[in-house]
């Protein structure tokens, strides 16, 4: 054991990094590859027994990488905790005061849970708020997870669709290619396009941002939108979508309704930071689809883009299946954990002093400013600091939106992350403006702004683009 100084001052034993087993979540915050590198950074890595089993990582692989296998109670001595989901109030009771907790904390609309983090005395970082800058690309959890969600959405659609996707010319006749429509061209949408094309489907896609038209074409799909003057000005300088007028929305809805009626598979990916998911597909649209058609709603956890979608269930309306799987990236947990663990490792590396091999947080660093949620017993993120003072006891999450009045943080200056522009009613979470080449579709732009939405945005968000 070596001696380090913890974040709140004072001497402590060997700096311990703990990777717990998630509750109701198949992903894990570490991999054998990242454990090896975390050990090299100076951490004594402890992985809870069975933490990686659902991600196809047995304890023996963590041990071979240099980790120790521990129990849930070992978290009490951890200096750093790497998680996938926000710890519950019950879990936080075991955390050491002053510990660094890094996870996808999903703070919007969960004021009491945020206050619980502050009351526990932990320094909590929420990975969804990572700013969209070059040095942070490798830390972009929204991009890595939404990319996989887009892929899995097509696989799920193919599984539910009881016909072949590619065109087949056989002696017995020709099988026509399935028609797939992707609504929202962020990271998930682009990967869905690429995957559906690889499976031989005829693919179309829509989005309100003009810049993505080229991206869609580069992947071999056709772009669908009302391309009037308003559409041409529908994107901010930062690559985000502007909210469209009701007149434009009506025209776009009419175009989409006619198009959906001819599709075999529709995949919706629209999640707007700080808002419930926009309704893109109505019951009337579903009623016009052919029996056997499939709709995949990647936004079902926030209300859904498809009317009639039920979170966690597959429903059928007049022969049309509406798929509402939860945690779609977690459905391929082995791959999702691999990428997520690398996102966490990259961020942890920025917090470690290379000479002393200890955690030394620079609260003036733009990554820290954007992502730090609580520190020193207080909620320090400006989007949540004022709400925390009025939050009730942290026994349960609060459905009521967080107050959005900007307040100065009580400890380190956690400045406001890059703001997200308002998104249109019928769009996916924004992606980068740069047009990716078809062969690199899997490395497309971020699914939604990694930084937190501005305080002007009605709070209620989720982890990925979809």
Angle between helices 141-160 and 187-198 (to 10 degrees): 40
423 within 8 A of 429, measured Cβ to Cβ:
yes
List CB contacts of 257: < 8 A, sequence separation 6 or more.
282, 284, 285, 288
Residue of 111, 140, 156, 297 marked active site: 140
d(CA 56, CA 452): 32
Residue 392 in tokens: 């009730």
d(CA 372, CA 105): 11
Residue 115 in tokens: 């206050």
Residue 371 in tokens: 């992502």
Residue 281 in tokens: 């597909």
71 catalytic? Reply is no
85 catalytic? Reply is no
Residue of 27, 132, 275, 279 marked active site: 132
d(CA 32, CA 5): 27
Lookup result for tokens 């969209």:
132
d(CA 80, CA 101): 6
Lookup result for tokens 């900007």:
406
d(CA 111, CA 48): 28
242 within 8 A of 211, measured Cβ to Cβ:
no
Residue of 143, 145, 191, 338 marked active site: 143
137 catalytic? Reply is yes
d(CA 408, CA 389): 13
d(CA 176, CA 165): 8
Residue of 89, 137, 152, 337 marked active site: 137
d(CA 118, CA 378): 5
215 catalytic? Reply is no
Beta strands 168-170 and 179-183, pairing class: unpaired
197 catalytic? Reply is no
Residue 153 in tokens: 């959405």
Residue of 240, 248, 264, 454 marked active site: 240
Sign, CA dihedral 55-143-136-78, equals negative
* DSSP of 421-432: PP--TT-PSP--
Catalytic positions: 132, 137, 140, 143, 240
């Amino acid at each position: 054991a070596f001696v380090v100084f913890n974040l709140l001052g004072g001497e402590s034993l060997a700096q311990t990094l703990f990777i717990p087993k998630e509750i109701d979540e198949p992903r894990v915050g570490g991999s054998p590859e990242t454990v090896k590198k975390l050990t090299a950074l100076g951490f004594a890595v402890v992985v809870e027994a069975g933490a990686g089993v659902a991600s196809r990582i047995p304890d023996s692989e963590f041990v071979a990488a240099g980790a120790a296998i521990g129990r849930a109670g070992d978290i009490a001595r951890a200096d750093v905790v790497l998680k996938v989901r926000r710890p519950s109030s019950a879990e936080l009771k075991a955390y050491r005061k002053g510990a660094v907790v890094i996870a996808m904390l999903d703070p919007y609309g969960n004021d009491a849970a945020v206050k619980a983090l502050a009351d526990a005395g932990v320094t909590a970082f929420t990975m969804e708020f990572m700013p969209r800058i070059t040095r942070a690309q490798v830390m972009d959890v929204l991009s890595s997870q939404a990319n996989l969600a887009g892929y899995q959405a097509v696989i799920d659609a193919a599984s539910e669709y009881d016909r072949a996707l590619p065109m087949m010319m056989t002696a017995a006749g020709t099988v026509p290619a399935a028609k797939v429509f992707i609504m929202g061209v962020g990271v998930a949408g682009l990967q869905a396009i690429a995957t559906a094309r690889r499976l031989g489907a005829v693919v179309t896609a829509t989005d309100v941002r003009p810049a993505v038209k080229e991206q869609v074409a580069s992947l071999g799909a056709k772009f669908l939108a009302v391309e009037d003057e308003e559409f041409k000005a529908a994107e901010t300088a930062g690559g985000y979508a502007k909210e469209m007028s009701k007149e434009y929305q009506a025209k776009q809805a009419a175009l989409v309704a006619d198009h959906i009626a001819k599709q075999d598979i529709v995949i919706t990916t629209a999640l707007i930071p700080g808002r419930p998911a926009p309704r893109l597909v109505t019951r009337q649209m579903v009623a016009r689809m052919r029996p056997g058609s499939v709709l995949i709603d990647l936004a079902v956890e926030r209300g859904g883009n498809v009317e009639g979608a039920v979170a966690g269930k597959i429903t059928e309306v007049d022969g049309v299946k509406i798929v509402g799987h939860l945690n779609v990236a977690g459905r391929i947990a082995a791959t999702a954990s691999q990428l997520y663990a690398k996102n966490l490792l990259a961020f942890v590396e920025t917090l470690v002093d290379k000479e002393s091999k200890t955690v030394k947080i620079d609260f003036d660093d733009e990554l820290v400013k954007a992502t730090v949620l609580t520190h020193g017993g207080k909620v320090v993120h400006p989007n949540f600091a004022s709400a925390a003072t009025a939050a009730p006891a942290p026994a349960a999450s609060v459905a009521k939106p967080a107050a959005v009045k900007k307040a100065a943080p009580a400890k380190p200056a956690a400045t406001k992350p890059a703001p997200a522009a308002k998104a249109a009613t019928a769009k996916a979470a924004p992606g980068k403006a740069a047009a990716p080449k078809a062969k690199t579709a899997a490395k497309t732009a971020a699914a939604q702004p990694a930084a937190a939405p501005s305080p002007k945005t009605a709070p209620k968000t989720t982890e990925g683009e979809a």
